[in-house]
Amino acid sequence: MSRGTNLFIAFSISAVVWVITLFLSTGYVNEVAKSMPTYALILYFSYALFKVGGDLARLKDYPEEAESLQKEVQEAKRFYQQQGLKL
């Protein structure tokens, strides 16, 4: 089974359980059950924010790499000039 199918089945089972809980529960449990989908979405987006935000904060810039590459470009050009190539 594909990942998509697995996710669809998991989602469908969760949806059925949620609907049954909604109809059969009363009082506080019913109140909590009504909020579960919203809570699940908030949880996922919070996790995404935390994960992507953390990864962004850790993603480093390396200006020295760009400088060193520029020097290597000049080195390569000198090499080809010595070889007599017209590029």
**38 or 55, CB closer to other proteins?**
55
- Smallest distance from the beta carbon of 62 to other proteins, in angstroms? 5
Angle subtended at Cα 48 by Cα 54 and Cα 33, rounded to the nearest 5 degrees:
140
* Total residue count of the chain as it appears in this document: 87
By the 10 Å C-beta count (0-12 exposed, 13-18 middle, 19+ buried), 34 is classed as: middle
Instruction: Extract the tokens encoding 68.
Output: 């060193």
- How many residues of this chain bind other proteins (CB under 8 A)? 31
- Provide, rounded to whole angstroms, the least separation between the CB of residue 7 and other proteins: 8
Residue choice 4, 27, 38, 71 for contact with other proteins (CB under 8 A): 4
Which residue carries 């470009």 as its tokens?
73
Contacting positions for other proteins (CB under 8 A): 2-5, 7, 48, 51-52, 55-56, 58-63, 65-66, 69-70, 72-73, 75-77, 79-80, 83, 85-87
